[in-house]
Amino acid sequence: MIDFTKKKFGVISLGCDKNRVDTEKLLAIIRGNGCEITDDISAAQIVIVNTCAFLNESRKEAIDTVLECAAYKSENLEKLVVTGCLPQKYASEIYPELTEADVLLGTEDYNCFFAALEKSYQNGRVNYVGEGSGAVGTGRVLSTPVHYAYLKIAEGCNNHCTYCLIPKIRGVYRSVPEEKLIEEAENLGDIAELIIVAQDITRYGIDLYGQKKLVEILQKLTSLVNINSVRLLYCYPDMLDDDLIAEIRDNPKIVKYLDIPLQHSEDRILKLMNRKGGREEYLGLISKLRREIPGISVRSTFIAGFPTETEKEFEGLKDFLNTAQLDNCGFFAYSREPETAAYKLKGQINYSVKKARVKELYAVQREISHKKLDKLKGEKIRVLCDGIDYDRDCFVGRAYFQAPDIDGKVYFNAPRAVQGGYIEVLIESTDGYDLYGRTEDYEL
């Protein structure tokens, strides 16, 4: 038997915040076995790369990262473990070729981590994809700043958008039982902002309980004394019903912010994407949200260059952005992924055209965002302090309309600020993405 308590473990987590939660649960398994975790990959005897495989670019990043880590085998590195979406979907292809990886584990195999590692030390390379039960505890080792954390409330997806590989990688939609979520949230300690994630949080509970349970779980989570606020990401537009809107409006612990992935605005393209709803429904929903929840911040994502997207439809998307006046947006060039329905569509658009359209969309949104942020100059806003930006020599934080990593930030000067605490910041300027300011008691 290998004494793993004498080994140092290093972990690199790639991809989305949902993948991050998986990484944090694996870290809890490692630490729970008495093992040391190091941030210095060069000092680790065992390195884990938790991969993303959603797009071709993410698969390339995953393989490049594995190859970069393999270079440490000439130093301290003894075993390189590759986990997550890439082996889950492509184990049969990468196991024979990616010989730098000593252990492969899929998204449901973390409970087999030490068994697979032990076998690798005894017998050499092992492929453990599909060997696990998916059962892991509710413990986490946070990789975020200590004052905020993500909570993944479901796995997989049932939406079957024609461009998306997630159902083929992560499987059907599976809600995490309420009691496990409550236990996991309680175990996180004092959290200023708990960020609720899943591929689609609005469908939470339907598979387990036969009805939507997002409102109920939000009420239970916000009743916990260690949770100061809750932010919602990835709400599908067709599932944003009156009960959920009312809960967001009336629950003081829910941040008045929604991430609604619309993906496009034009009806024909949405139908080809297998997305529910259309341009008028989306504009109506945005208007309703602003009417029912004063001050609500709405974020979305859009895909440019979907097969057969015409110039007129692209211009329609730009017009939609100007009409909707969303607070923040992310834009992506359509990625043609094998095994998706859209892969077979005729009318694939040239890569350079897709990238140019993405650039144009960002320019439209940049002007919208700049005008919105410019109105805040001279105003005091409540900011959650995320810590110190040593490069800028000031504090950095976020307003309610800014989620970590995907939106802008607030950079500010103050005599004192506490990480995880709230502070009033007088906004002095903006670059159209970030805000800059100071506290009133800061001497210039």
pLDDT one-digit tens code per residue, 317-328: 999 999 999 999
C-alpha span between 296 and 299 (Å, rounded):
10
pLDDT at 157: 95
C-alpha span between 317 and 303 (Å, rounded):
10
Cα within 13 Å of Cα(319), Cβ side: 9
Structure tokens given for 326: 């969303």
C-alpha span between 312 and 136 (Å, rounded):
49
Residue 76 is given by DSSP the state T
Q: Give the CA distances from residue 168 to residues 57, 58, 104, 337, in Å, rounded to whole numbers and listed in that order.
A: 17, 16, 18, 12
pLDDT at 183: 97
Return the minimum-mean-pLDDT range out of 125-134, 393-402, 416-425. 125-134
Return the minimum-mean-pLDDT range out of 55-59, 351-355, 411-415. 55-59
pLDDT of residue 443 exceeding 80, the answer is no
pLDDT of residue 358 exceeding 90, the answer is yes
pLDDT of residue 439 exceeding 90, the answer is yes
Cβ atoms within 10 Å of 43's Cβ, excluding its own: 14
C-alpha span between 149 and 192 (Å, rounded):
9
C-alpha span between 10 and 50 (Å, rounded):
11
Q: How confident is the model at residue 138 (pLDDT cuts 50, 70, 90)?
A: confident
Kindly state the greatest CA–CA separation across the chain: 66
pLDDT at 136: 83
Look at strands 103-104 and 154-155 and give their pairing: unpaired
Q: Give the H or E element holding residue 88.
A: helix 85-97
> Quick one: 182 exposed, middle or buried, by C-beta within 10 A (0-12, 13-18, 19+)?
middle
Q: Give the H or E element holding residue 150.
A: strand 148-152
Q: What is the DSSP string of 11-50?
A: EEE-S-HHHHHHHHHHHHHHHHTT-EE-S-GGG-SEEEEE
C-alpha span between 413 and 436 (Å, rounded):
9
pLDDT at 251: 98
Sorted by where each starts, the structural domains of the chain and their CATH numbers stand as 4-127 (3.40.50.12160), 148-374 (3.80.30.20), 380-438 (2.40.50.140)
Stronger pLDDT, 443 or 402, i.e. the higher one: 402
Mean pLDDT, residues 286-309 taken together: 98
Positive or negative: CA dihedral 390, 393, 395, 399: negative
151 Cα distance to chain centroid: 10
pLDDT at 366: 96
Mean pLDDT, residues 213-234 taken together: 98
| Mean pLDDT for the chain overall | 96
Mean pLDDT, residues 72-99 taken together: 94
385 Cα distance to chain centroid: 20
pLDDT at 133: 85
One-letter amino acid of 9:
F
Q: Provide φ and ψ at 297, rounded to 5°.
A: -100, 130
pLDDT at 135: 75
Mean pLDDT, residues 196-202 taken together: 97
Alpha helices in 223-378 (DSSP H): 242-250, 267-272, 279-292, 311-324, 351-374
Model confidence pTM above 0.85: yes
Residue 52 is given by DSSP the state -
- Name which of 90, 102, 26 is nearest 56 in CA terms: 90
Cα within 13 Å of Cα(173), Cβ side: 20
* Percentage of the residues of the chain whose pLDDT score is greater than 70: 100
pLDDT of residue 442 exceeding 90, the answer is no
Structure tokens given for 233: 């990401």
pLDDT of residue 410 exceeding 90, the answer is yes
Q: How confident is the model at residue 29 (pLDDT cuts 50, 70, 90)?
A: very high
Mean pLDDT, residues 70-86 taken together: 94
Positive or negative: CA dihedral 413, 429, 366, 198: positive
Structure tokens given for 357: 């359209």
pLDDT at 295: 95
pLDDT at 137: 82
Q: How confident is the model at residue 164 (pLDDT cuts 50, 70, 90)?
A: very high
